[in-house]
Amino acid sequence: MTDHTPVGTIQSVCTGISVVEHPVRFWGLRFRTRMTLIQMSQASLCIHSPVPQSAAIKDFIQQIQPRRIFLVAPNTLHHLFIGEYMRSWPQATVIAAHGLGRKRRDLALASGKDFNETDWPTELQAITIQGNSYLNEIVLYHRSSKTLIVTDLIENFTSQSPGLGWETRWMAKLSGMWNRPSPSPEFRLYSHKKALAAALRQVLALDFERIILAHGDLIESTPRRTAKDCLRTAYEHVLH
């Protein structure tokens, strides 16, 4: 997908799914992060990896008039702006990556809470990626659109990716991440290879044709290369 969302603009990806991009600086690198909004049945809305809540985003949510809101802080890095949404939507169910509650003591996060203990929507399957205790990432699978939604599990920086600083391009090329979907640097620091491989096989068993990721170009299946092939190739060193 080369048609990038302008910063702060809500753009539809497919039926029921929209994204918003926001510039970030991390470890001195400039790039963009991406929030995903998933509209479901029974007036439910899932907000995955929140970016700053602009007036446009707040209006978008209000127009949906959701009866249920799920706020997902999907790993221990993607949590900075969730407090804004918790204050605006105090009725929301908060799902946070395991361990984030210790990092964000200022927020009453449901860290480590089992999805089965909530009224989690059946349209979304949630999987916690074991084997990387630094991130403990939660990925989502939207069944009807066959979309996998991740944050740092895989990144896809190319010459088409907007908002990249020269230092980000240099780092991506130096680390072999340029023009090829790759694990983020944080996911290369896995702590338990077997657990990570088992989680990846669980994800690869899903029938997805698209990957919405936090950093870089979205990954769409093509006749030459499927989204599943991209993820499998990126983690070939773990799976074999």
Return the pLDDT at 113: 54
* pLDDT(204) > 50: yes
For the segment 124-164, what is each residue's pLDDT rounded down to a tens digit?
Answer: 999 999 888 778 899 999 999 999 999 999 999 888 888 77
Contacts of 151 (CB under 8 A, 6+ apart): 49, 74, 75, 77, 78, 137, 139, 213, 214
CATH numbers and ranges of domains, the chain: 11-239 (3.60.15.10)
User: Could you tell me whether strands 210-212 and 17-26 are parallel, antiparallel, or unpaired per DSSP bridges?
Assistant: unpaired
Is 28 within 8 Å of 43 (Cβ atoms)? no
Is 208 within 8 Å of 232 (Cβ atoms)? no
Handedness of CA 217, 221, 223, 226 (dihedral sign): positive
Is 225 within 8 Å of 233 (Cβ atoms)? no
DSSP 94: E
The residue-averaged pLDDT of 60-73 equals 94
pTM attached to this predicted model = 0.90
Determine how many CB atoms are found less than 10 A away from the CB of residue 240.
Answer: 6
Return the pLDDT at 5: 55
CA-CA-CA-CA dihedral for 121, 63, 220, 163, to nearest 10: -120
Is 95 within 8 Å of 86 (Cβ atoms)? no
